[in-house]
Structure 1
């Protein structure tokens, strides 16, 4: 028998889960998402990916800033949902909301809990050099990703995987697992196991100050930093007489040495604190992504150039 579901999510990561719930025949009675935000040069208000997808599906959308008012809490409770499904919604839910659905609130979390609780588990796992992550379906409580785990599936992180690639794989897997969890919830067979007390780490939101590449770190650390933030990690190069920010999309670590931040050859190999990275793909400001060889044909950076 289908369940009456409230879906709560905001970014692209959440959309496949919403689609999977609808495809499985559940009745999504309402979608909650973060309010539209100013974006672009004109700062026009932009609806979230989940908001736009819900409207396309004909599902009513609500965008409260929080659940601090009695009115917002009562409006949620009045939906009389069987369960809430929460995927990267962006708010900690108060007890009044967590307790409103008849069968509880369930979260898709993209890490091997209790490792990487918090806002940026995919990026942090890659940046830390983790070889394995997971998707967990968790019964929510008032803590930050502290609830008991109902279902989970480990996922190997390939040595060259970027955050974007892992994001898409974990999102698709999360959709499958949530449908499976709700089937067990309907059948009364869903179990929830408390998380271990050991091994807790927190995946803080990525700060803009972290995105600049620090070539003083080891080549492995720099390569992981680039993979974890792709397409966000950057350095500055003097091009045409002025500094320009260059985003690095792909790079590999190699066994070359030199002064950190110095270009070692004509293949865009940059020395790090130990070893070097060779940039394979990048993006100049206002340009499309390009291969390193194409960039070098136009940039003409000489070996010995310092990059920062």
Structure 2
């Protein structure tokens, strides 16, 4: 089948590789433009761009496509059966959505209509959902509103972090898109009930609000790992919390209850198990505290 693949982050790479291995004719790969990265701020291609180059596939990296008639024409000229979209990062306008004969199929990392939007993996963990999943949907102009072709659930295990759920969903997505192309299942409209939205994650979302319940904060630590990462401030310094566990204890929210260290929350307490100072390596909490004093009774911000 002649197709274009449109994706950018690591999540999308397994699907691209699966489509290539299955023998589909990938006319072009679309990815976000290279951006400065690392200490030297060298222009660096995104993961999908790098994977496409490894596979010998042509790549286009337009900075925007919504109102670019030349890009619309170039896309239409590919004469596609279908376009596969997986976390591309740009909104496709109607001329591009309508160009492939079978439309544009999206690999979405949730069980639609739950968690439409930019950060469905993090949203599912933050909300304490028992499961997430992959939906293959036919795209339309609305935000993740298109009809569904295939869905498959993935359990969210106790203690599961965003990277773990990300990898599980990425693998399922690669498998399901092959099925969707082969079987061409009927499209089913999304139900009106149960719609939720997952907005983009901002850096400040990582700040731990100790007035919240410990269970909510424990999920936040798992959901926002690795970016933006959760943190608190102590003595004017930002301390990152890389892992944590719900613990027994009570006190004024933000109070350090013991040397574990355990912090009082709005309901219950949170034991911090792995910490990191700016410019330092991550380390277990016990090791961290040997070189950084936080006396019992300290109020964390």
TM category (shorter chain) comes to over 0.9
Q: State the match for 1:134 in structure 2.
A: 133
What SS is found at the alignment partner of 1:299?
coil
1-structure distance, mates of 2:166, 2:15: 13
Quick check: 1:170 aligned with 2:169? yes
Who is 1:281 aligned against? Answer: 274
Match of residue 290 from structure 1: 283
1:228 aligns with 2:237: no
Structure 1 residue 65 and structure 2 residue 63: aligned? yes
Q: How much has 1:129 moved relative to structure 2?
A: 1.3
* Distance in 2, Cα, partners of 1:223 & 1:249: 10
Distance 1:5 1:287 in 2: 46
TM-fit CA distance, 1:38:
2.2
Length, aligned pairs only:
298
Q: Match of 1:105?
A: 104
Runs of 4+ off more than 3 Å: none
Q: TM-score, normalised by structure 1?
A: 0.94
How much has 1:140 moved relative to structure 2? Answer: 0.8
Question: Structure 2 matches for 1:33-182, cutoff 5 A?
Answer: 33-67=31-65, 68-182=67-181
Distance, in Å, in 1 between the alignment partners of 2:108 and 2:237 is 37
Provide, for residues 13-51 of structure 1, a one-character-per-residue CA deviation record: whole Å limited to 9, x for no partner.
111111111111112111001111222333322211111
TM-score by length of 2: 0.96
**Cα deviations across residues 73-121 of structure 1 (Å, max 9, x unaligned)?**
0001111111100000011111100111111110111111111100000
Q: Give the structure 2 partner of residue 195 of structure 1.
A: 190
Please give the alpha-carbon distance, in whole angstroms, between the structure 2 residues aligned to 1:287 and 1:153: 40
Alpha-carbon deviation of 1:288?
2.8
CA deviation profile, 1:224-275 (whole Å, cap 9, x unmatched): 111110131111123xxxx322221211112211111111111011111111
Q: Quote the Cα distance in structure 1 between the aligned partners of 2:161 and 2:99.
A: 38
Q: Does 1:217 align with 2:215?
A: no
Deviation at 1:279, TM superposition (A): 1.3
Matched position secondary structure for 2:84: strand
Matched residue, 1:183: 182
Match of residue 307 from structure 1: 300
User: Aligned-residue CA RMSD in angstroms?
Assistant: 1.2
Residue 24 of structure 2 is aligned to residue 26 of structure 1: yes
Q: Which residues of structure 1 form unaligned runs of 5+?
A: none
Structure 2: segments with no counterpart, 5+ residues: none
1:283 Cα deviation after fit: 2.5
Q: Secondary structure at the match of 2:183?
A: helix
For the 8 Å contact 1:135–1:154, the answer to whether it is kept is yes
Give the whole-Å Cα distance in 1 for the aligned partners of 2:284 and 2:169.
Answer: 27
SS at match of 1:182: helix
- Aligned to 1:181, the other structure's residue is in SS state helix
Equivalent of 2:252 in 236, 242, 259: 259
